[in-house]
Amino acid sequence: MTLISCENVTLSYDGNVAVEGVDCQIAAGDYLCIVGCNGSGKTTFIRGLLGLLKPVSGSIVFSDGLKRQDIGYLPQQSTVQKNFPASVREVVLSGRLSRLGISVVYRRQDKQAAREALELLQIADLEKSGFGELSGGQQQRVLLARALCAAPDGLKVLILDEPMNGLDAHAKTELYATISELNHKQGITVLMITHDVQAAIQHADRILVLEGKQEFYGDTHAFQHTALGRSMLRDSCGNNCAVCGIGLGDL
Amino acid sequence: MELLEAIPKFFNYGFLINALIVGTLISLCASLLGVSLVLKRYAMIGDGLSHVGFRALAVATVLNWAPLAVSIPVVVVTAFLLLRLSERGKIKGDAAIALISAASLAIGVFLMSLSKGMNTDIDNYLFGSILALTQADVALSVVLSIAVIVVFLLFYHRIFAVTFDETYARATGLKAGLYNSVLALLTALTIVLGMRMMGALLISALIIFPALSSMWLCKRFSAVTVVAAIVSLGCFFVGLLVSFVYETPTGASIVIVNLTVFTVFYLIYKIKQM
A183 within a domain of the structure (yes/no): no
Residue B174 and residue A98: Cβ atoms within 8 Å?
A: yes
pLDDT of amino acid A158: 95
Q: What ipTM was assigned to the predicted interfaces of this complex?
A: 0.84
Dihedral angle of Cα B53, B58, B62, B67, to the nearest 10 degrees: 40
Contact B173/A68, CB-based, under 8 Å? yes
Secondary structure of residue B218 in the 3-state scheme? coil
In angstroms, the CA A79 to CA A199 distance is 23
Closest residue to B220, CB basis, from A75, A90, A105? A90
CB contact under 8 A, A75 and B224: no
User: Which residues, numbered 34 to 93 in chain A, qualify as contacts with chain B under a Cβ-Cβ cut-off of 8 Å?
Assistant: 47, 50-52, 68, 73, 75-76, 79-81, 84-87, 90-91, 93
Report the residue from A86, A91, A104 with minimal CB separation from B156: A104
Contact A100 B171 (CB under 8 A): no
Out of A68, A90, A100, the one facing B222 most closely (by C-beta) is: A90
Nearest CA in chain A to B167: A79
Interchain proximity B39–A100, CB inside 8 Å: no
Task: Say if A174 falls within a structural domain.
Answer: no
* List of chain B residues with pLDDT < 70: 1, 88-93, 116-121, 132
Establish if A229 belongs to a structural domain.
Answer: yes
DSSP B133: -
Distance CA A98, CA B53 (A): 36
B184 CB contacts (<8 Å, ≥6 apart)?
A: B45, B79, B80, B82, B83
Q: B2-273, what's its fold? A: ABC transporter involved in vitamin B12 uptake, BtuC (1.10.3470)
Q: Which residue of A has its CA nearest to B165?
A: A80
pLDDT value for B119:
56
Q: Do A104 and B161 touch (CB under 8 A)?
A: no
Q: Give the CATH number of the domain where residue A227 resides.
A: 3.40.50.300
Q: Which ranges in chain A belong to alpha helices (H)?
A: 42-49, 88-93, 108-120, 136-148, 169-184, 197-203, 220-224, 227-237
Q: What is the pLDDT of residue A161?
A: 93
Which residue of B38, B172, B178 to mutate against A (max A Cβ within 10 Å)? B172
Is the Cβ pair A133, B174 closer than 8 Å? no
Domain hosting A238: range is 1-66+196-251
CB contact under 8 A, B171 and A84: no
**Interface contact A97-B172, CB threshold 8 A:** yes
Instruction: Determine the pLDDT at residue A247.
Output: 46
Which of B166, B174, B222 is opposite residue A97, by nearest beta carbon? B174
The SS3 of residue A31 is strand
Residue A180 belongs to some domain of the structure: no
- Chain-chain contact of A97 with B219 (C-beta, under 8 angstroms): no
The answer to whether residue A20 sits within a structural domain is: yes
Phi-psi region of A245 (alpha: psi -120 to 50; beta: other; left: phi over 0): left
Is residue A211 situated within a structural domain?
Answer: yes
Candidates A79, A144, A160, partner chain B, best to mutate (most B CBs within 10 A): A79
A116: closest CA of chain B, how far (Å): 20
Of A20, A18, A23, residue with least CA distance to A5: A23
Query: Quick check: is A203 in a domain?
Result: yes
In the structure, how many helices (H) and strands (E) does chain A have? 8, 11
Query: Count of domains in chain A?
Result: 1
DSSP assignment letter at A104: S
Q: So what's the pLDDT on residue B89?
A: 62
Nearest CB partner across the interface for A84, out of B158, B164, B167:
B164
Largest CA distance in chain B: 59
* Chain A residue with Cα closest to B174: A98
pLDDT value at residue A242 = 41
The mean pLDDT of chain B is 87
Which of A97, A99, A133 to probe by mutation at the B interface, max B CB count within 10 Å? Answer: A97
Query: Which residue from B169, B174, B220 is facing A86, i.e. has the nearest CB?
Result: B220
CB B56 within 8 A of CB B75: yes
Residue A41 falls within a domain, yes or no? Answer: yes
Counting DSSP H helices and E strands in chain B, the numbers are: 13, 0
Q: Which residues of A touch B215 (CB under 8 A)?
A: 85
Alpha carbon distance A237, A156 (integer Å): 33
Q: Please list the rounded mean pLDDT of every run of 10 residues in chain A (251 residues).
A: 93 89 94 92 93 93 87 83 92 90 87 93 94 92 92 87 89 92 94 91 94 93 90 68 44 40
A-B CB pairs within 8 A amount to 82
| Torsion angle defined by CA atoms of residues A128, A131, A133 and A136, in that order, rounded to the nearest 10 degrees | 130
With beta carbons under 8 A apart, name residues in chain A contacting B171.
Answer: 47, 50, 52, 73, 75
Instruction: Phi first, then psi: give them for residue B117, nearest 5 degrees.
Output: 80, 170
Q: How far, in Å, CA of B224 to CA of A53, rounded?
A: 35
- Is B168 close to A90, i.e. CB distance below 8 A? no
- Residues 6+ positions from A172 with CB-CB distance below 8 Å: A137, A164, A199
Look at residues B152, B270, B165, B249 and name the one whose alpha carbon lies nearest to residue B205.
B249
